[in-house]
Amino acid sequence: MKYRLESRLIMILMLGSIISLAGCNGNSHENGESSMDIEVNGKINAQLTSPPFVPDPIGSRPAKQVIVDMEILEQEGQMANGVSYIYWTFGGSVPGSFIRTRVGDEVEFTLKNHPDNKLPHNIDLHAVTGPGGGASSSFVAPGHEITFSFKTLNPGLYVYHCATAPVGMHIANGMYGLILVEPAGGYPKVDKEYYIMQGDFYTKGNNGEPGLQPFDMQKAIDEHADYVVFNGATDALTGDNAITAEVGETIRLFVGNGGPNLTSSFHVIGEIFDKVYVEGGKLINHDVQTTLIPAGGAAIVEFKVEAPGTFVLVDHAIFRAFNKGALGMLKVTGEDNPSVYSGTIQEGIYQPEGGIIQTMPGNKGAPEAPIAQSVSERIEMGKQIYARTCLACHQEEGQGIPNAFPPLAKADYLNDDVERAIAIVLHGKTGEITVNGKNYNSVMTAQSLTDEQVANVLTYVYSSWGNSGVEVTPTMVTKVKSSH
């Protein structure tokens, strides 16, 4: 009898779980309404803001058609004192403009690529349910614009980023931001809200080397970041740029991590998070010291400031904070609160320290690339290099991408001048060219390859897809290198 009652109880519990799970399907919410069924009432233009500011809270407004108009700008900015960088941006800032919506909104998104830009771009919004998060419908060349639409089905805080090949390069140059989808009725009221996003940057020069620093693809692949910063620069949240609050106020931080590579261990020195919306979703954790934010992820943190002073925001992978730049400041003013904290305040604690790259003695460097012993071996080695470095832009059959990256297959521009092709692989190319009667105005990045590797990959290209079949040798590459 006891066994039979226990069996019946287990069945009841299992049935309850199945019913509960079924109720979660279809993006249903607490009131049982599916986000797909939420009626849209009217149209508004999205309020877009640059960091560290956020648009006004959604609150109780009904779902609407939200018009987002965003322009991509490639522009020079300051990474650190004396160090500048060409950022690729959504809306002219790193991170890009903050987008604030509510569940059930229908977003009409127009993405513009400024005519002065050099590269095509697109956008992948993690809040989108659809192909590529929108990337498949938003590929846009310089001087053009494109529109696509989506419905916000799931509340939460989501990353968006560029997804044009090479994807990592576009993200590493600052092409990321946050889109917030508030639940119906909005979030609880707080006194201050701010927008903070971490990113890792990779430059030819080491941390602190002055001048306009180019992007370093090899460092990015190796995940050797020269700078790890909040909001695109080492001083974006320090000094006069620090965020502010008054004693007794409750602060909400929308914190994202654009990556492209590194996870953030987000911490505010001298504060404890009263609430953490884990990974930007519904799950709320309490009394948290440090929260992990993955690359391509986000979190919402809330805390009340109980005492005045400067509270330091860091990635608690601590060398990133004090040596690579992931350090910001929250300056809190107001009356002392000795019941919470008392002590003599010493200035100069927790300041940036700058970075130095050190090497271990006896480092012999990487082994040399293998040497091809025949044309067929050179072609096979070149095919492997092509797959790693060229395929994303020029495609598997050398067909290129229309209006963006020129074809290599039966390409007159390629076959007419072998030395020119070698020079482009070695040094890169920018500006307008004509290939097979069509104009292209993009950027070919210089490739960090040995002379042997350049010879191999070009020999593979010339031997494929109806090209001339010429063999490029390391001697030819060395000659071109010495003449430029």
DSSP string for 132-171: GGGGGG--B-TT-EEEEEEE--S-EEEEEE--PSSHHHHH
Distance separating alpha carbons of residues 208 and 224, to the nearest angstrom: 15
Backbone angles phi and psi of 388, in degrees to 5: -85, -30
Which residues are documented as binding site for Cu cation? 121, 126, 161-162, 170, 175, 316
Average pLDDT of span 223-240: 96
CB 215 within 8 A of CB 312: no
Digit-coded pLDDT (tens) for 131-156: 999 999 999 999 999 999 999 999 99
126, pLDDT greater than 90: yes
**φ/ψ bin of 29: left (φ > 0), alpha (ψ from -120 to 50), beta (otherwise):** beta
Say what the pLDDT of residue 37 is. 86
Digit-coded pLDDT (tens) for 166-184: 999 999 999 999 999 999 9
Question: DSSP secondary-structure letter at 19?
Answer: H
Beta-strand ranges (E) seen in 52-144 are 65-80, 83-90, 99-102, 106-113, 124-125
Digit-coded pLDDT (tens) for 302-319: 999 999 999 999 999 999
464, pLDDT greater than 70: yes
Question: Which of 433, 456, 451, 438 is closest to 383 using CA atoms?
Answer: 456
Confidence of residue 204 (pLDDT cuts 50, 70, 90): very high
Name 441's bridge partners. 432
Say what the pLDDT of residue 348 is. 62
Confidence of residue 362 (pLDDT cuts 50, 70, 90): low
**Paired tokens of 116:** 């002065």
Which residues are documented as binding site? 121, 126, 161-162, 170, 175, 316
Could you give the domains of the chain? 36-182 (2.60.40.420), 195-200+219-333 (2.60.40.420), 375-483 (1.10.760.10)
Say what the pLDDT of residue 346 is. 66
| More confident call, 364 vs 437 | 437
| Strand bridging mode 309-315 / 99-102 | unpaired
Average pLDDT of span 35-56: 95
- DSSP H or E run through 455: helix 451-462
| More confident call, 122 vs 10 | 122
Distance separating alpha carbons of residues 163 and 123, to the nearest angstrom: 6
pTM here is 0.76
**Paired tokens of 427:** 């040094």
3-state secondary structure of 303: strand
277, pLDDT greater than 60: yes
Say what the pLDDT of residue 21 is. 40
Digit-coded pLDDT (tens) for 285-295: 999 999 999 99
393, pLDDT greater than 80: yes
Distance between first and last Cα of the chain: 92
Residue whose structure tokens are 């927008």 = 195
**Paired tokens of 142:** 């310089």
| More confident call, 13 vs 395 | 395
61, pLDDT greater than 70: yes
